[in-house]
Amino acid sequence: MTTATTDVRDNLTQADAEARAARVRHCDYTLDLQLTRGAETYRGVASLRFDAAGAGDLFLDFRGKTIELLEVNGSKVEPRWNGFRLWLPGEALAASNTVRVVYENEYDHEGDGFHQFKDPEDGEEYLYSNFEPYESHRLFPQFDQPDIKGTYALSVTAPAEWVVLHNSRAASVSDADGSKRWEFEQTKPFSTYLFALVVGPYHEARDRHGDIDIGLFCRKSLAKHLDTGELFELTKQGLTFFSDFFDFPYPFGKYDQVFVPEFNAGAMENVGLVTHNEYMVFRDPPTDNQRRGRAETLLHEMAHMWFGDLVTMRWWNDLWLNESFATYMSYLCLEKATRFTTGWQDFAVSIKNWAYRQDQLVTTHPIAGQVADTDQTFLNFDGITYGKGASVLKQLVAAIGADGFREGMRHYFRTHAYGNATLAQFLESLEKGSGADLQDWARLWLETPSLNTIGSRWEADGDRITSFTLTQAAPDEYPTIRPHTLEVGLVRDLDGKLEVTVLPASIRDTEAELPEARGLPAPDLVFPNYNDHGYAKIALDPASIAFIRGNMERIDDDLLRLQLWASLWNMVRDQQLKSTDFLALVRTKMVLETMPEAVEAVTNNAIAAIGRYVPDEWRDREAHDFAQAAWAALKAASSNDLQIIWARALIATASVAEDLDLIGRLADGAESVPGFTVDQDMRWNIAVKHVAYGVAGAAARVQAESERDPSDRGVRARLRAETAVPDAAAKAAAWEKVLGEGYGSLALTEAAMMGFNWVEQRDLLAPYVEGFFDKVTEVFRNRDKEFASYFYRFMAPSYLVERDIYERGEQLVAAVGDELPVLVRMAREANDDLLRAIRCREFAAS
Ligand SMILES: [Zn+2]
């Protein structure tokens, strides 16, 4: 028996992966797992057949507890293993090999690896795997890299009441000594990070689409909330749409989707067995925005079955393409095949703004770049990878046409099915499909960071345009000028009615004439990114700004109105519009708005403005004014969705006694609005807020909510309340426990961290400002990346918008140097954000 002891990092470099891929071919894995109820460990026997070329040792990736036996080609070999790398001696290898490993391993509790969860409501145990990018070898020994695909033949022995789910269908289920033995069909070849195993007494719902079996699963205690009707419908709509669009039938036989507890991401595209975060099982009545968001995630994962799973990137440097493509395709599918026909509006608000924001940070980077090792992959699940990449694909489709894009994709799947492909091969397919030369486009859009600003300049003689010029600028640090294919919207106020004239336009240089505009009536508002094809900041001219400040609610084009609100928000962030002026505009105009997407996006901006961009001494006043506006809007709201969105905004901004009292009375039913119910999530937020602000009766409120909601969500909320208590001893205990043994799982510890910092408790929290900077390096050095990034996100003193904190952050970045890239990236972004907030506050006060 070999037990792992190591302090070296489990990290795979591209160089090692390339060297290994050059030697290894045709992997067939056979895996047999023994799972028992309530155990801390599980046992496995893994066999791997593969062809090897070249000479010398090879390594398998395996992060386990103990190896009991290692056999190479039938001979027992003493394992040479550092806890994550298991070496196969070159002299034992042949052209064709069989390796057999008998091992024991511990369950994981951080949401990655093979995660174990115990439901506090009914005591049931649930297991699931989560492996991207480099965690699959926490379940069994393997070549854990995307370009060594394998087939898998899995058997699992598990308690009789448990369901066992895998990427392929179960071929047989038989009795085995009071347990059940599940044997699965051998899978098609796919990458190790897409392997999945989900086990436990999951609730199951079934349907069928053509010859594809569809399953939906969630914990038993959530079954009452699982709305299978909408989920099955979307699944079928997506399967039909993607099969047709790609002209390639769904490749993996069956399609299961499981909602799993304590999941770190939104969802994961495991082949034929997608795992979804449980926030997509709606325990409270959702808004349609939430339903659309869920549909988008569902379709995003489904698009990956083709792009990512059937054809996979060779290495993690093309992760961006994987995510951009799935994101773009999911919105296209939403619009073309589902009831959520306004998907692109959501894209403009959420995906694009995420990208714009990330692209203006000091840490911005080209879409396509180098990823030296799997640790660096972690850094790249960001707004550039998902948001900018997808926005740039949308811009590309505007340039080459939808048909050329579709033909290119068909070529891509025909050519590379069940294999790997690179960005160059993707572009080659698109060039074949569209006939366009994309080399320049790729260089300018994919290999350079940052974004352009597009504006307009025009002159009129009387009421007619005499000249119209589009302008393009780039920041000094990133002077790239790019080709943009756009539509320009000219808005005129015609006797009380607004009319939009739309002109196609393109710009490749710093200026482009738009001769079609000559002779048209002079506009009151010019918007150079009408229909949102472009990826660029839009500079509005002063006359247009004055017009929208007075007339925003009259613009009846929903997407345009959303884009204009987004432009105003960008102006706040760039210190061209005072945060207080923006908030005043929101209070007067947004209460008239009936589009939930707009209300949700803009109230979220307003909440951020109050927290970050308003000087400390004005914050209570601004928060109170906004909360009162939200309360008025809640009472006047014309739909239940608007009621929910305004109620959330009210609870988020309530911070003076009068408003805290109001939300308490709403929760207690002493105050009410017809047609509106305070849901459990809101009740928890109110209870936690009352605790943090020291409102009388807060502890009793938490107790009452705990009795009302004994679920895992209730447990997490109670932890938030526990660490929110404004008391030095409570803070000290929480600090120690977060950094020490934790709260039982990463999700529980995260909940405890979320309750810790409150700007109103700044005096009480003073010791933990320096405490954070003292500890953070050690945390990033010694703890796993997920924990470390939660620690940064929730325990950093980000509630202090002050120069001292900025200086301290700069010292941290300088001290850490190259040692911890994830920490340096987070610290630089936090500081960049802080500097922006300081400037916005100074501008507001000027
Ligand atoms: Zn994805």
DSSP codes of every residue in 98-163: EEEEEEEEEPB-SSSEEEEEE-TTT--EEEEEE-TTTTGGGTS-B--STTS-EEEEEEEEEETT-E
Count Cβ atoms within 10 A of the Cβ of residue 67 and give its class: 0-12 exposed, 13-18 middle, 19 or more buried.
buried
Instruction: Assess contact for 656 and 620: CB atoms under 8 A.
Output: yes
Q: Which of 200, 235, 259 is the last residue of a domain?
A: 200
Rounded Cα distance, 434 and 443, in Å? 18
Q: Is the peptide bond before 249 cis (omega within 30 degrees of 0)?
A: no
Q: Which of 150, 167, 200 is the last residue of a domain?
A: 200
220 and 172 both lie in a single domain: no
364 and 502 both lie in a single domain: no
Could you tell me if residue 242 is inside a domain?
yes
Q: Ligand 1 centre from 58 Cα, in Å?
A: 31
Q: What pLDDT sits at residue 3? A: 58
Could you tell me if residue 239 is inside a domain?
yes
Amino acid at 511: E
| Element spanning 470, H or E | strand 464-473
Q: Ligand 1 centre from 720 Cα, in Å?
A: 30
Q: Which of 531, 557, 574 is the last residue of a domain?
A: 574
Could you tell me if residue 100 is inside a domain?
yes
Rounded Cα distance, 193 and 137, in Å? 9
Straight-line distance from the first to the last Cα atom of the chain, in angstroms, rounded to the nearest whole number? 70
Lookup result for tokens 């049931």: 124
Find the domain containing 182 and state its range. 1-200
72 and 138 both lie in a single domain: yes
418 and 525 both lie in a single domain: no
Rounded Cα distance, 794 and 754, in Å? 6
- For the chain, residues with pLDDT lower than 70 are 1-8
Q: Ligand 1 centre from 320 Cα, in Å?
A: 9
260 and 349 both lie in a single domain: yes
- Concatenated DSSP letters of 509-523: SSEEE-GGGTTSBPP
- Residues near 804 by beta carbon (within 8 Å), at least 6 away in sequence: none
- What CATH code is carried by the domain that includes residue 369? 1.10.390.10
- What CATH code is carried by the domain that includes residue 560? 2.60.40
Provide the b/e sequence for 444-460 (b: ≥16 CB within 10 Å).
ebbebbbbbbbbbebee
Q: Ligand 1 centre from 338 Cα, in Å?
A: 20
191 and 47 both lie in a single domain: yes
Q: Ligand 1 centre from 547 Cα, in Å?
A: 40
Could you tell me if residue 233 is inside a domain?
yes
176 and 196 both lie in a single domain: yes
Could you tell me if residue 27 is inside a domain?
yes
Q: Ligand 1 centre from 325 Cα, in Å?
A: 9
Identify which of 501, 509, 503 has the alpha carbon closest to the alpha carbon of residue 525: 501
CA distance readout (Å), 445 to 368, 450, 472, 505? 9, 9, 15, 18
- Residues near 164 by beta carbon (within 8 Å), at least 6 away in sequence: 156, 158, 170, 180, 182, 197, 198, 199
221 and 306 both lie in a single domain: yes
List residues, by chain if needed, whose CB lies under 5 Å from ion ligand 1: 323, 326
292 and 438 both lie in a single domain: yes
- Name all contacts of 727-733 with Cβ < 8 Å and 24+ positions apart: 727/764, 728/764, 731/756, 731/764, 731/765, 731/768
Q: What pLDDT sits at residue 5? A: 47
- Residues near 807 by beta carbon (within 8 Å), at least 6 away in sequence: none
Could you tell me if residue 151 is inside a domain?
yes
Q: Ligand 1 centre from 117 Cα, in Å?
A: 24
Active site members: 301
DSSP 384: I
281 and 179 both lie in a single domain: no
Interior angle at CA 299, CA 295 and CA 305, nearest 5: 155
Q: Ligand 1 centre from 268 Cα, in Å?
A: 7
Could you tell me if residue 805 is inside a domain?
no
Could you tell me if residue 785 is inside a domain?
no
Helical packing angle, 712-724 and 728-739, nearest 10°: 130
- Chain Cα centroid distance, residue 49: 36
Q: Measured on CA atoms in the order 709, 713, 715, 719, is the torsion positive or negative?
A: negative
495 and 443 both lie in a single domain: no
Q: What are the DSSP E strand ranges found in 24-124?
A: 24-34, 41-52, 58-61, 66-72, 75-76, 80-81, 85-88, 96-106, 113-118
Number of domains in the chain: 3
Q: Ligand 1 centre from 589 Cα, in Å?
A: 36
Q: Ligand 1 centre from 188 Cα, in Å?
A: 21
Partners of 203 in beta bridges: 218
Tokens matching residue 625 = 């004014």
Q: Ligand 1 centre from 300 Cα, in Å?
A: 6
235 and 379 both lie in a single domain: yes
Percent of the chain predicted with pLDDT > 70: 99
